[in-house]
Amino acid sequence: MNLTLLMPLGAAAALIFAYVRAKKVLRESEGNELMQKIAASIRQGANAYLKRQYSGVAKFFAVVFVLMLALSFMGQMEIFVPFAFVTGGFFSALSGYIGMKIATSSNARTAFAASQSLNSGLKVAFSAGSVMGFTVVGLGLLDTSLWFFFLKYIVYAGLPEAEQAMKISALMLTFGMGASMMALFARVGGGIFTKAADVGADLVGKVEAGIPEDDPRNPAVIADNVGDNVGDVAGMGADLYESYAGARLSASALAVSAGFGMVGMAVPMALAAIGIFASIIGTFFVKTGEDASQRSLLGSLRKGTYIASAIVAVASYFLIQYAFGGQQTGLFIAILVGLLAGNLIGYFTEYYTSDTYKPTQKLAESSETGAATIIISGLSLGMMSTAVPVVIIGIAVMASFACSGGIQNFEAGLFGIGLSAVGMLSTLGITLATDAYGPVADNAGGIAEMSGMEESVRDRTDALDSLGNTTAATGKGFAIGSAALTALALVAAYVDQCKAIKPDLVLDLSITNPSVLVGLFVGSVLPFVFAAMTMSSVGKAAMSIVTEVRRQFREIRGLMEGTAEPDYHTCVDLCTKSAQQEILAPSLMAIIVPLVVGFTLGVNGVTGMLMGATASGFILAIMMSNSGGAWDNAKKYIESGHLGGKGSDNHKAAVVGDTVGDPFKDTSGPSINILIKLLSTVSIVFAALIVNFSLNL
Amino acid sequence: MNLTLLMPLGAAAALIFAYVRAKKVLRESEGNELMQKIAASIRQGANAYLKRQYSGVAKFFAVVFVLMLALSFMGQMEIFVPFAFVTGGFFSALSGYIGMKIATSSNARTAFAASQSLNSGLKVAFSAGSVMGFTVVGLGLLDTSLWFFFLKYIVYAGLPEAEQAMKISALMLTFGMGASMMALFARVGGGIFTKAADVGADLVGKVEAGIPEDDPRNPAVIADNVGDNVGDVAGMGADLYESYAGARLSASALAVSAGFGMVGMAVPMALAAIGIFASIIGTFFVKTGEDASQRSLLGSLRKGTYIASAIVAVASYFLIQYAFGGQQTGLFIAILVGLLAGNLIGYFTEYYTSDTYKPTQKLAESSETGAATIIISGLSLGMMSTAVPVVIIGIAVMASFACSGGIQNFEAGLFGIGLSAVGMLSTLGITLATDAYGPVADNAGGIAEMSGMEESVRDRTDALDSLGNTTAATGKGFAIGSAALTALALVAAYVDQCKAIKPDLVLDLSITNPSVLVGLFVGSVLPFVFAAMTMSSVGKAAMSIVTEVRRQFREIRGLMEGTAEPDYHTCVDLCTKSAQQEILAPSLMAIIVPLVVGFTLGVNGVTGMLMGATASGFILAIMMSNSGGAWDNAKKYIESGHLGGKGSDNHKAAVVGDTVGDPFKDTSGPSINILIKLLSTVSIVFAALIVNFSLNL
């Protein structure tokens, strides 16, 4: 059997499965009229945001496309690259769009289902999550399949297979940039939107006006709920589409560099397809009895992912045996290493951020001496939590390199590292499903609150939401771990690419070479600058919401008494505008810096820069995500009645921590993962330009 | 003239100058009986702390000394290394001790002088600072001189000069570890002490009991003032002793590797000596008319440093011409680059942290929406402020490498980088003087407050203190910038050292080599883990002070009414104990991690680790120092009457920021600079062990 055929099969299976699940969700009832109305408002706001974002992004893509086209005509870029750039961006955007569509159609349905039973609520929310998960992987493989078959059977049809593999893999490596660019826009824009709305709604509504969270009188409440969808759903979808693409494409390119030809190139794709089938099987195990406790719900979700992982583990053994005729069993171990490393990082993320473990409980206790000490402790917790993932990734890199025969064949070892990233992401379909259902449950809670449903419904959606926090921690582990491995694979592939463009290029990648070193410093600082930019963007956007909400409370008569309706639309609009304005600078930075470094410090400098950004970005992303997550859960821990409970001084201190954590965990932290890959893909796309025109080579 | 003779001459000049200045300060009056009594209490506390710290450190040094001795007998280390380790630690400790002695003898004298005029206050405080500055540089050159002449004229007396140079420079390179180790203890221990006392005194005294800062009824007030001396003076002295040693020794080693022989080796030492003479001349320009404004005071301090820099710039031209017979003018440019880079980083540090510029003013404004937003903005400010220093250092590295002929002769280029670090630190005598006078003025203010002197005296000491903050910012620029350059030079020297130990060693320092890469990741995470450890140590220690101060307020009758005296001693003792306990873990980490990385990942891995730690440490140190400095000054800006002034909600939010900033800027931030060099010197000292026994070479 031709392994490449697995690609379109996997893509088709994922998309059909997503479609079937979507149909099933949409058959559920959306509840009463009020619920439908609220859901429609959220949907409308999310649509408006995405419409605006996509039209803004389209302009940006158009400009870059034209520039790329010009470079192609000047012979500095393959002619297909600009088009692939656009398709990558398109499919990434589409993943986010579909995810958002289904999420905004499932929130009221989840709330209604939760009014019947906890399990019904879980089912609807999880189904919505699955639609998103399988859309992402399905579209990812679809894009790759289309290009692969077009290149193989039309463009390079006449060439011998080995040469085909070389050409196709090199070309497809450049295809990641569109997806990464789109992901950055979606994550940063969505992150700014959601946190500006959240912080703005809380600061005026909860703190100043003293009304509860998700109260319909709060003018920013719809914006807040829209934010969950555009940030945590659409943003995450685009983000993981990008991770998935980067991992597969870089692994394929490294396989060809290592001399494994067309078969090697097909293996990462086939592994991804196997992961899809395994994930589909896994989803059928997510079910529980009617009287399930929260622990057994979690067990049920975990069961699904573990079964999927087990299937991939077994099947990949046969895949490697089949592909390489029993020659490369080490590559199978590399896949296992990836799967294991992802799970371990996920476990430690949970350990550091869940209030069932000591670190977060101790963090909550540090609220006893006020806001300053909970901030210091939270930052310290986040910094400390970076050590274990670094060690895990370090061991994973060494192990997958060594067992793939890297000591004899350096390139084979690099392929092993790349394959281990693909292994880590192979079960993305189901891990993303368990991740994406969280925001749906969160939204359902908002609708339950706003439509005045019974207390018990809100309790159930809260239970689902809090379960979502736990699964999201695992999901983050996979996202962060795979980002590091993928970025490393991309850098290795970048170096190969440069050598392929100019075979007589002499590189000195030694870390003591000043060009590499200065590149390393510049790269290391980028995640910090990027985090600074995105955090201050959230601050600015939140300030504009605060001002608007205060204005409405002041000017709209009868708002507090509930006799007049607030103007939700303006808040949504303000968030949209701010998000659009603020994404430009960090995105431009990600394109311009690699070019400037390339022109001044050459390929050596760019390589140093990419490694520096990967190392410091990986660490900063973990720190920010974990500090933020721990503050959030410390606050919830206190709210659940510990240390004085809601309204106590401890709680007030914890709220400060949570607010600081908001941009940490939902804007800056997750975007850094995309940044480090975007820097790599930009460098790859413009490699010829640098190789031919750098001042320092 | 033999250039090496400049070393002892410079050392003697510095020490004599320090002695004369000290005599002069001690002739001033210590004021009335109460002032003398308070000063004696502070002195006693500081003495007690240092005694305890030094006896603890002595045990640690003894253990390491014995281990080193054992390694020497096993042929894994030169026999002189353990002894040099001890002398480095001893002189570093002595620098801190003398600085602390003079500072605790000058605080009351400064307060008394300030009661006469602002200028008299400045003179006494600046003289005390000079004693410290010149003691550090004098002892630094003294230690080097002693060893140099002992090795050259006794141990290696029979060898030809070229071989002598090789042996001596390689050996002396290993001498930095003692100084670095001691500096880490002093900085971290002092930093924990001072911030625990500060936070503890403020949380209970200012916030809970509502008494002013430095009120004699506060049981932690003496500990707080002791902290200024053991942290900001003794800690800083040991720290800069270490920077000064590391820069000179690594530059000398690189000079010999580059083939410049004994003359090349002498150049960094001679440059340091020239810097001492220039600094002495500079100090005579620090004087003003009796009616000077604060701006003209600052101008006067700056004049001193600028004149010293100008003298070094001119003299180093002749030094280079004389040493290399007109062949290496590029090295002169490298020195200039270093001087300029230090000043530029200092300027940008001031820009980001002084309330006369926009960033800190804007930070103060973000207190309008509460503690959370001032924290987010401060972190974001700190992260953003890392970009410019990275670019400056990047340009400095490239420029000093290129103009020293690094493109033709790689080693010569590295020597240029090392020399540029020495250039940056050459005027340390006077920059440290302008830096160290700040804590003396701070202490003087405390004494003025406690002894009930007139308001105007406190105003004057506050003016001196705030001036000190500005000069300290410049001083920090030099410390951080030189740490980065020195660390790079140390890494380069480390690699040379390994090759010298085992000439057939094959290294692959390519950044895409998995060992280098994993080393890079591990190194990058170390500063984060170190910062986490030290921050949580401050938190723990502060909690113990809070408990004790609360106990005293509760149990000592008449304390609040002023009829009974608090038990100052217990607070000092508690801080001392906590600081001692908490320094052990981070110090051990700095020794153990390089060994573990060396045994598992070999020299390649260690090199990657050192570079990763340098890059991420440099950035994190700047971020933490600048965030902390900006929060401190934003609070002072509000206190000076802006945005509602003292007691307003804005002020409360700013106090939270300042408290978070305390461990940032005075404990973790500055210690990271030492950490990155200690990692290098540890790697150098144990190089033979790794080269001979690593599992991965």
For residue B287, pLDDT beyond 90 = no
B contacts of A363 (beta carbons < 8 Å):
none
pLDDT in tens, A29-81: 999 999 999 899 899 889 988 888 899 899 999 999 999 999 999 988 889 99
Task: Report the gap between the CA of B221 and the closest CA in chain A (Å).
Answer: 19
pLDDT at A66: 96
Nearest to B511 among A372, A542, A608 (CB): A608
Q: Do B656 and A371 touch (CB under 8 A)?
A: yes
What are residue B510's DSSP bridge partners? A510
Do residues B233 and B439 touch, judged by C-beta distance below 8 A? yes
Q: How far apart are CA A365 and CA A374, in angstroms?
A: 8
pLDDT at A292: 61
Binned at pLDDT 50, 70 and 90, residue B207 comes out as: confident
What residue type is B448 in one-letter code?
Answer: A
Instruction: Please give the residue of chain B at the shortest CA–CA distance from A615.
Output: B521
**Mean pLDDT in residue range B378-395:** 97
Q: Do B619 and A623 touch (CB under 8 A)?
A: no
Q: Do B529 and A616 touch (CB under 8 A)?
A: no
Q: Do A397 and B514 touch (CB under 8 A)?
A: yes
Residue with token string 């390491």 = B64
Q: How many CB pairs under 8 A join A and B?
A: 217
A contacts of B381 (beta carbons < 8 Å):
532
Nearest to A512 among B380, B492, B538 (CB): B492
HSE toward the beta carbon, residue A550, CA cutoff 13 A: 12
With b for 16 or more beta-carbon neighbours within 10 A and e for fewer, the B20-30 pattern comes to: ebbeebeebeb
pLDDT in tens, B153-166: 999 999 999 999 99
Task: Report the gap between the CA of B379 and the closest CA in chain A (Å).
Answer: 7
For residue B290, pLDDT beyond 80 = no
**Mean pLDDT in residue range A216-243:** 87
The sign of the CA dihedral A209, A213, A214, A216 is negative
| Least confidently predicted of A118-127, A497-506, B369-378, B466-475 | B466-475
Q: Do B375 and A491 touch (CB under 8 A)?
A: no
Of A390, A373, A372, A315, give the one whose Cα is nearest residue A622. Answer: A390
A contacts of B525 (beta carbons < 8 Å):
386-387, 390, 619
Would the ipTM clear 0.85, i.e. be above it? yes
Do residues A387 and A229 touch, judged by C-beta distance below 8 A? no
Task: Report the gap between the CA of B165 and the closest CA in chain A (Å).
Answer: 23
| Least confidently predicted of B186-195, B319-328, B474-483, B486-495 | B474-483
Nearest to A511 among B371, B516, B529 (CB): B516
For residue B234, pLDDT beyond 90 = no
Task: Report the gap between the CA of B384 and the closest CA in chain A (Å).
Answer: 5
pLDDT at A608: 97
Q: How far apart are CA A132 and CA A152, in angstroms?
A: 30
Q: What is the pTM of this model?
A: 0.95
Nearest to B390 among A203, A495, A522 (CB): A522
Which of B204, B250, B420, B511 is best to mutate for the A interface (most A CBs within 10 A)? B511
Residue with token string 């530059």 = B251
Higher-pLDDT residue of A554, A418: A418
pLDDT in tens, B627-652: 999 999 999 899 888 989 888 999 99
Do residues B685 and B81 touch, judged by C-beta distance below 8 A? yes
Nearest to A518 among B379, B397, B406 (CB): B397
Binned at pLDDT 50, 70 and 90, residue B2 comes out as: confident
Which of B390, B606, B618 is best to mutate for the A interface (most A CBs within 10 A)? B390
Q: Do A518 and B377 touch (CB under 8 A)?
A: no
Task: Report the gap between the CA of B522 and the closest CA in chain A (Å).
Answer: 6
pLDDT at B458: 86
Q: Do B406 and A514 touch (CB under 8 A)?
A: yes
Average pLDDT, chain B: 91
A contacts of B607 (beta carbons < 8 Å):
511-512
**Mean pLDDT in residue range A282-309:** 79
Query: Percent of chain B at pLDDT above 70?
Result: 99
Q: Do B203 and A401 touch (CB under 8 A)?
A: no
pLDDT in tens, B330-361: 999 999 999 999 989 988 998 999 888 999 99
Q: How far apart are CA A537 and CA A181, in angstroms?
A: 19
pLDDT at A291: 60
A contacts of B546 (beta carbons < 8 Å):
369
pLDDT at B369: 84
With b for 16 or more beta-carbon neighbours within 10 A and e for fewer, the B328-356 pattern comes to: bebbbbbbbbbbbbbbbbbebbbbbbbbe
Binned at pLDDT 50, 70 and 90, residue A477 comes out as: confident
Binned at pLDDT 50, 70 and 90, residue B604 comes out as: very high
Length of chain B: 697
State the CB neighbour count (10 A cutoff) for residue A33: 9
For residue A171, pLDDT beyond 90 = no
Nearest to B616 among A488, A616, A660 (CB): A616
Give the CA distances from residue A278 to residues A222, A281, A334, in Å, rounded to whole numbers and listed in that order.
38, 5, 19
Name the token pair of A448: 């339950």
Task: Report the gap between the CA of A397 and the closest CA in chain B (Å).
Answer: 7
pLDDT at A138: 96
HSE toward the beta carbon, residue B586, CA cutoff 13 A: 37
pLDDT at B692: 92
Binned at pLDDT 50, 70 and 90, residue B368 comes out as: confident
Domain range list for chain A:
3-693
**Mean pLDDT in residue range A540-551:** 88
pLDDT at B288: 65
Q: Do B514 and A390 touch (CB under 8 A)?
A: no
B contacts of A416 (beta carbons < 8 Å):
none
Q: How far apart are CA A124 and CA A445, in angstroms?
A: 14
Q: Do A384 and B623 touch (CB under 8 A)?
A: no
Which of A365, A379, A417 is best to mutate for the B interface (most B CBs within 10 A)? A379
**Mean pLDDT in residue range B177-189:** 92
Q: Do B383 and A535 touch (CB under 8 A)?
A: yes
pLDDT at A1: 65
pLDDT at B651: 93
Residue A333 has φ and ψ, to the nearest 5°, of -65, -35
Q: Do A539 and B515 touch (CB under 8 A)?
A: no
pLDDT in tens, B469-518: 777 777 877 888 999 999 999 999 999 999 999 999 989 999 999 999 99
Q: Do B535 and A619 touch (CB under 8 A)?
A: no
Binned at pLDDT 50, 70 and 90, residue B293 comes out as: low
Q: How far apart are CA A507 and CA A513, in angstroms?
A: 10
The burial class, CB within 10 Å (0-12 / 13-18 / 19+), for A27 is exposed
DSSP E strands in B548-651: the ranges are none
Per-residue 3-state assignment (H helix, E strand, C coil) for A180-214: HHHHHHHHHHHHHHHHHHHHHHHHHHHHHHCCCCC
